[in-house]
């Protein structure tokens, strides 16, 4: 552990690989998106529960959460569930490169939501960054317009980005008075419950698709959630938020390389240009936000 603390860049690399594997794992699930997502969150809650309930301070805070915080956290979990279903479904209709890049536009929707609903302000530079990002998304959509269902997958990825932006905005409000551990746990529980309900309403049984869904769900929980997003939170102890945020932009690149090797998905030139604009716009915005 001391070696890792002296070389924390190792954890950044592990985190990037972890989140990049998410889209790859989903491709191997034979179950509907809601079932795969449900298993991911059920496994995540199961893995995290001993640590949450086993710590007295965390347990007491969790049991004393007020109704407003509980409601907003649960609502945040609902939008996270919607995000997972939409994004997982998009991966069945468009390329990994297009889907993961478009999902990265969540920063744009968070910024717009911050202005529209939380009465925040953004600079002219931020508006330029948002414009660049949206232009990149349009180019990706245009490149995919001729493919079978590709444009539909791009739209789903865009809606997934909007859903996760709402989740982020709700978290911004709740976390003012709530620890990250308690907030995250409530969100994950609410997300898992929502996904199970979605499966029930769509008549998608959790047990009708063999071992692929629970195995993929476990891989997503371990690698993409715990060894992915959670590691980035740990890395904030050693790196600036802007560096950590920028490192996440490696996800579409690594995911696209893996998809090219495993699924023979080779991005077209217009996709590459659009992807570069999206990632460049998001990176530029992340730098502006920290000024």
* pLDDT per residue as tens digits for the range 165-219: 899 888 888 877 888 889 989 999 999 999 999 999 999 999 988 898 999 999 9
Question: What global pTM score does this model have?
Answer: 0.88
Q: Which pLDDT does position 279 carry in this prediction?
A: 87
pLDDT band at 84 (very low <50, low <70, confident <90, very high): very high
Degrees, nearest 5: CA angle 127-101-195: 105
* pLDDT per residue as tens digits for the range 91-116: 999 999 899 999 988 878 888 887 87
- Distance between CA atoms of 80 and 195, rounded to whole angstroms? 10
Q: Is the pLDDT of residue 1 over 90?
A: no
- Distance between CA atoms of 210 and 285, rounded to whole angstroms? 43
Minimum mean pLDDT range among 35-39, 72-76, 128-132, 194-198: 128-132
Q: Is the pLDDT of residue 283 over 90?
A: no
Q: Which long-range contacts (CB under 8 A, 24 or more apart) does 68-74 make?
A: 69/174, 69/177, 69/178, 70/186, 72/170, 72/173, 72/174, 73/170, 73/174, 73/178, 73/183, 73/186, 73/187, 73/190, 74/186, 74/187, 74/190
Tokens linked to 175: 């976390």
pLDDT band at 151 (very low <50, low <70, confident <90, very high): confident
Tokens linked to 141: 């959509």
Dihedral class, residue 179 (left if φ above 0, else alpha if ψ from -120 to 50, else beta): beta
Q: Which pLDDT does position 31 carry in this prediction?
A: 94
**Residues 174, 41 contacting (CB under 8 angstroms):** no
Mean pLDDT of 61-73: 93
* pLDDT per residue as tens digits for the range 226-282: 888 778 867 767 776 557 767 787 888 899 989 999 998 888 888 889 989 988 888
* pLDDT per residue as tens digits for the range 14-61: 988 999 999 999 999 999 999 999 999 999 999 999 989 999 999 999
pLDDT band at 147 (very low <50, low <70, confident <90, very high): low
**Residues 245, 93 contacting (CB under 8 angstroms):** no
């Amino acid at each position: 552990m001391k070696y890792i603390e002296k070389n924390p860049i190792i954890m950044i690399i592990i985190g990037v690989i972890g989140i990049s594997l998410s889209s790859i794992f989903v491709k191997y699930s034979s179950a509907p998106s809601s079932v795969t997502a449900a298993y991911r969150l059920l496994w995540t809650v199961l893995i995290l529960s001993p640590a949450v309930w086993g710590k007295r301070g965390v347990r007491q805070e969790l049991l004393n959460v007020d109704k407003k915080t509980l409601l907003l956290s649960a609502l945040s979990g609902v939008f996270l569930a919607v995000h997972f279903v939409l994004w997982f479904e998009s991966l069945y209709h468009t390329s990994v490169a297009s889907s993961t890049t478009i999902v990265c536009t969540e920063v744009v929707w968070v910024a717009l939501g911050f202005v529209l609903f939380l009465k925040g302000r953004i600079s002219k530079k931020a508006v330029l960054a948002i414009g660049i990002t949206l232009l990149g998304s349009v180019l990706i959509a245009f490149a995919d317009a001729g493919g079978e269902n590709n444009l539909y997958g791009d739209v789903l990825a865009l809606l997934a980005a909007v859903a996760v932006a709402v989740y982020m905005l709700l978290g911004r409000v709740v976390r003012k008075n709530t620890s990250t551990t308690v907030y995250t746990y409530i969100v994950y529980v609410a997300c898992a419950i929502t996904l199970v309900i979605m499966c029930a309403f769509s008549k998608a049984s959790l047990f009708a698709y063999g071992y692929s869904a629970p195995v993929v769900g476990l891989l997503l929980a371990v690698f993409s959630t715990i060894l992915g997003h959670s590691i980035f939170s740990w890395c904030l102890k050693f790196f600036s938020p802007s560096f950590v945020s920028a490192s996440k932009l490696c996800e579409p690149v690594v995911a696209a390389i893996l998809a090219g090797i495993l699924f023979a998905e080779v991005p077209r030139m217009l996709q590459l240009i659009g992807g570069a604009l999206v990632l460049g716009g998001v990176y530029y915005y992340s730098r502006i936000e920290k000024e």
